[in-house]
Structure 1
């Protein structure tokens, strides 16, 4: 089995670049040129099955254990909203470091504090709220994930001159997508395609790509949980290539790393 921890360590990131590693579902690790790491929505356990039942049991085995994350110099942990496949409570419990901050919406902060995370390590994200931390910029952006997560956000992450837009879980809103494209020059856009619980499907995600006009776009939120994944990444690639021909589209397998 792939040793993802060693693969991350062996990945060299030159100044002016960021390495992006897919953890499956909507989870990613960013590695910066200074050698530190940023987590966003990592889902690396099977806690959804524990809380929600067998229809939410992960299909693909995790390639990294929470304990292994303790061996990485994590500089920030970003969470788009509090749903179980984005706020992995078991992962949070098993990371013992008390050094790095969390950036996430208020309801997620409430749950993190209930898990024992100190409140002064948690910083509230909302659309339009931004933070500067350790040479990176973290911006809360629009997301509409419905009534079950009304404070959900997308997150724009900037480091080493690169801008990554993780949409979080959201439906399509043409006006908001255009607003984001006017505010940021996106190098990489990560879009959900599962088409459930208010999220975009493949065609809507491709339309979002055409509105944001990123340099590269990749799909997420597929092939992980029978009850909440869905989506056909190949259909997304085909639609996005048609609607946004200037954008490079890629599909990342779990554990794959790209440099932007």
Structure 2
């Protein structure tokens, strides 16, 4: 199984016969100012047989880019409660997945498992398995108590793609909490350990930092390396870089 890092939280996963993208992004949400890293047309990473979306937020679900670069009829899977939100897009083959549901895409077996969104919206984590290799991609989840049940039911994992930027939001019309809406570096390492992941691949960091609306936690890579040191393997990928499981 080959993992290629896409911008922000996205990855592309490939075997000899099948490829898919999780949370691919090209159009940057304007409310977050300007992207701190480049975005690339999705076709630069190669075609896909399907797209998996963890949740419908604009930095994870980019229906216009999916339709333009992968085709309007590409199969797109969302949490079942979010399917209706794709109704006004050009996408013609959108399907919902319930927590615990599994389905096949070519050589992959895909399973939706619990995830907890920092804004309280529907979200799933995706387990992608091919033969004896599997990974889990957790979108922009915050810390939750499902890690242990996911590990006992589906683990261990060859890789866990986990958010690490511990972002704090101050959005118009919402009272600020001062609390991170996704995993901090230290929490990501703890989650990866509980999941039984052989390696942690950090996602969801670097591109967005637009205080006070969106404030990324400081020194995250140094903290991530310090937390993972002696605990587990850490695989830091730059956009377009590849890791083979």
TM over 0.5: yes
Aligned to 2:146: 176
Partner in structure 1 of residue 19 of structure 2: 37
Q: Tell me the TM-score normalised to structure 2 length.
A: 0.84
Deviations 1:149-182 (A, max 9, x none): 1x11111111242111001121112x31111111
Superposition TM-score, scaled by structure 1 size: 0.80
Paired position in structure 2 for 1:222: 205
User: Which residue in 1 is equivalent to 2:41?
Assistant: 65
Indicate the residue corresponding to 2:241 in structure 1: 256
Partner of 1:10: none
Structure-2 residue corresponding to 1:239: 227
Structure 2 unaligned runs (5+)? 168-179
Paired residues in the alignment total: 227
CA displacement at 1:22 relative to structure 2: 0.8
Change over 3 Å in CA distance of 1:32–1:96 after alignment to 2:
closer
1:140 aligns with 2:112: yes
The alpha-carbon distance between structure 1 residues 98 and 43, as it changes in their structure 2 partners (threshold 3 A), is closer
Secondary structure of 1:237's aligned partner: helix
Deviation digits for residues 66-105 of structure 1 (CA, Å, limit 9, x no counterpart): 4546xx4411100000011100233124135245311111
Say if 1:222 and 1:229, in contact at 8 Å, map to a contact too. Answer: no
CA distance in 2 between counterparts of 1:141 and 1:67 reads: 28
Is 1:26 the counterpart of 2:2? The answer is no
Q: Distance between the aligned counterparts of 2:135 and 2:57, measured in 1?
A: 22
Partner of 2:52: 78
CA contact (8 A) 1:30 1:38 kept: yes
Question: Is residue 81–residue 96 contact of structure 2 (8 Å, CA) maintained in 1?
Answer: no
Is 1:103 paired with 2:77?
Answer: yes
Instruction: Give the structure with the higher percent strand.
Output: 2
Alpha-carbon deviation of 1:147? 4.1
Q: Tell me if structure 2 keeps the 8 A contact 1:21–1:29.
A: yes
Distance 1:234 1:76 in 2: 35
What is the CA RMSD across the aligned residues, in angstroms? 2.0
